[in-house]
Structure 1
Amino acid sequence: MTAPRVYTERAAFRLRTAWLAVLSAAALATPFLVSACGGGPPGTPAVRPPVATPAPTTTVGLRLPLNVYLPTPGEQATGEYLVYRVQQHCMRGYGFRYLPHLSSDYIGTTVATWREYESRRYGISERTIAARRGYHLGEEPSGTRAPQVSTALSVPEREVLSGRAPDGRRMTTPVQDKDVPDGGCAGLAERTVHGDRTAKAQRGYDLVARLRGEAFDRSRSDPRVAAVNRKWSSCMRGKGFTYRDPDAAIEDPRWNLLSARPSRAEVAVATADIACKLRTNLLGVNFAVEAEYENAAIAAHPQELAEVRTHKAAGTERLPDLMRRYDRAPRPL
């Protein structure tokens, strides 16, 4: 049984920044060279439409081709907030005071976290962050309250939230003389905000996730990325630091990324890291290469992705009306 999502700004922050740990530990493994004439992993397109190489100073704001099939950070954060609001209103109908500290501030803090997520797609990319925090992640959003986790709820609260009895069976006994909806208040909230997502629609979203992962992985082994990594490494040696690529700098065992603040050495390396990225245009090259692989993936799945875009548009259109209906706390008990 899948546990229902339970609101907490801190949990949302940790969920998103957990990606960064995966990024530094595995997803950006050392690139290996492949043939420039259509070689590489099985299924790699022999011909990819070229993408103009930008010269960004940060990866924030860069939109990869497959992003059009995904919610924007603002839409994603708004959808999450509304799911929690609908849960809250539903639970109130059964006599439970649920998510007492939930506010629309959740949207802004979640978008801010997504901004940091985006800024580190190819390693750190923002000078001000590097100068202040080195490779450390940002602090948890200020103003958060103690999280309300499902294990802290009473058994009756968990039953209504999940729609399941402690033994896992579906709730059939009314609560407060009301039947519990299928999937509990969590299920009702998901359907209210995201609609009754069909298996076909879910397969479409899974396809987008798979194509994004494959394009990213293939771009890591592209010779253009390997070449710009070598230029970056040479630049770093000129500043007195020896690393094969940006991942090696992040993974330097001298850094304690769980500590309260970075060391001076970490800040010095992180600052040099970004300076060399800008000098070599590592960010722009990485983006252009990944975009080429994504364009090829889009060309290979036109019908499926067109359907995904239709479902996404329908979800986006629901948000304003849902905000008008649910952007408020239920009446007090």
Structure 2
Amino acid sequence: MTSSGRKDLGGHRPPRHLTLTALLLPMVVACSGAPAPSPAPDPVPPHWLPPIYAAVYDTAEVGGEITAAQGRLIARCMREAGFTYPDLDPAEIGAPDRPRPFGLESLEQPVAAGESPIAEQPGRVDQRYVRALYDDEDGCQTQADVRLLGERQSLRSWSETRVGLYKAEVEAKNLLWRHPDFAELNARWAACMKRSGFTFRDPSQVLDGLPPKATFRAEPSARADVACKDRTGYLRSAYTGLARAQRHALAGSPDLLPTWKALLRRQCDTARQILARPAAEASSPCPAA
């Protein structure tokens, strides 16, 4: 479970066709004409993040550059095909939606993401528009992805690498959930919750029990959950264990993270060219090669 999307990514299979935008998981306030809302400070410091989370989800600025460039390429391609497609302002792109496998991490409300341009079209969607945008071989999105990665083979490698990271993510989560230290951590948290008047096995049950549109600060169980996590050092211990489990899961495929980072760098460099960013700009967000 996650506090932002109610479902944890580790509990579901990834889509068969993984686009660059979906893989980077940016949050887009689509067609709003306003900057993306500023998210609340992340209660989990970057150095706590497990290696897969750090590489895939802690990429807000990089993902924003790539998504903005992709949107520009798609808009140009769709116009050439006779359709309208809104240009995406980089200011409308928010942070990636990092998984939160341990339920609530704070009482701050998540910021809702906007709809995609195609989802916002009123009435029946023109199938010619869908084909022009999403066709696997010649669709504007595929063309944009190939341009960002340099060649079609790299697009295949990118998708395969993300699937590999996803599998390692799921394996690591299963390893952690079976570990005695994690069971003991949940027991300490549950004892704290019981002293507050609540009976739960683990934090995911708290989130499962909240109403769909709950205001976290107004829910006694949510307040007790976050307080007990603070008292027991839950998040630090849980993320430390998850990081160890992810490193173990990645040991069998040592090329996954280096390949991901290299392909991410390639997209970022190309995106900055498309967006006419200065090549030698000292503040370039692109990851080191």
**TM-score normalised to structure 1 length:** 0.62
State whether residues 58 and 283 of structure 1, in contact with CA within 8 Å, keep that contact through their aligned partners in structure 2. Answer: no
Q: What's the counterpart of residue 37 of structure 1?
A: none
Q: What's the counterpart of residue 246 of structure 1?
A: 203
* Residues 1:157 and 2:114 aligned together: no
State the secondary structure of the residue aligned to 2:276. Answer: helix
State the secondary structure of the residue aligned to 1:324. Answer: coil
State the secondary structure of the residue aligned to 2:197. Answer: coil
Distance 1:147 1:162, change over 3 A: closer
Correspondence 1:279-318 to 2 at 5 A:
279-318=231-270
* Residues 1:79 and 2:66 aligned together: yes
State whether residues 25 and 251 of structure 1, in contact with CA within 8 Å, keep that contact through their aligned partners in structure 2. Answer: no
State the secondary structure of the residue aligned to 1:256. Answer: coil
Distance 1:65 1:144, change over 3 A: closer
Matched residue type, 1:242: T
State whether residues 58 and 125 of structure 1, in contact with CA within 8 Å, keep that contact through their aligned partners in structure 2. Answer: yes
Root-mean-square deviation (Å): 3.6
Structure 1 CA distance for aligned equivalents of residues 118 and 256 of structure 2:
42
Q: What's the counterpart of residue 22 of structure 2?
A: none
State whether residues 148 and 266 of structure 2, in contact with CA within 8 Å, keep that contact through their aligned partners in structure 1. Answer: no
State the secondary structure of the residue aligned to 1:310. Answer: helix
Q: What's the counterpart of residue 216 of structure 1?
A: 173
* Residues 1:123 and 2:110 aligned together: no
Q: Deviations over 1:127-173 (max 9, x none)?
A: 4x1xxx5xxxx353589999435974434433433458xxxxxxxxx
Q: What's the counterpart of residue 50 of structure 2?
A: 64
Correspondence 1:9-158 to 2 at 5 A:
20-23=5-8, 58-59=43-44, 61=46, 62-67=48-53, 69-70=55-56, 72-99=59-86, 102-108=88-94, 111=95, 114=97, 117-118=98-99, 120-127=100-107, 129=108, 138=110, 140=112, 147-149=119-121, 152-158=124-130
Larger Rg: 1
Q: What's the counterpart of residue 15 of structure 2?
A: none
Matched residue type, 1:73: A
Identity across the alignment (%): 21
State the secondary structure of the residue aligned to 1:289. Answer: helix
Unmatched 5+ stretches in structure 2: 13-41, 278-289
Unmatched 5+ stretches in structure 1: 1-15, 28-56, 165-181, 326-333
Structure 1 CA distance for aligned equivalents of residues 183 and 79 of structure 2:
56
State whether residues 236 and 272 of structure 1, in contact with CA within 8 Å, keep that contact through their aligned partners in structure 2. Answer: yes
Matched residue type, 1:21: R
State whether residues 10 and 166 of structure 2, in contact with CA within 8 Å, keep that contact through their aligned partners in structure 1. Answer: no
Matched residue type, 2:148: V
Matched residue type, 1:324: A
State the secondary structure of the residue aligned to 1:125. Answer: coil
Structure 2 CA distance for aligned equivalents of residues 304 and 99 of structure 1:
34
Matched residue type, 2:233: N
Distance 1:208 1:144, change over 3 A: closer
Aligned length: 244
287-296 or 148-157, larger mean C-alpha shift: 148-157
Higher relative contact order (CA 8 A, sep 6+): 1
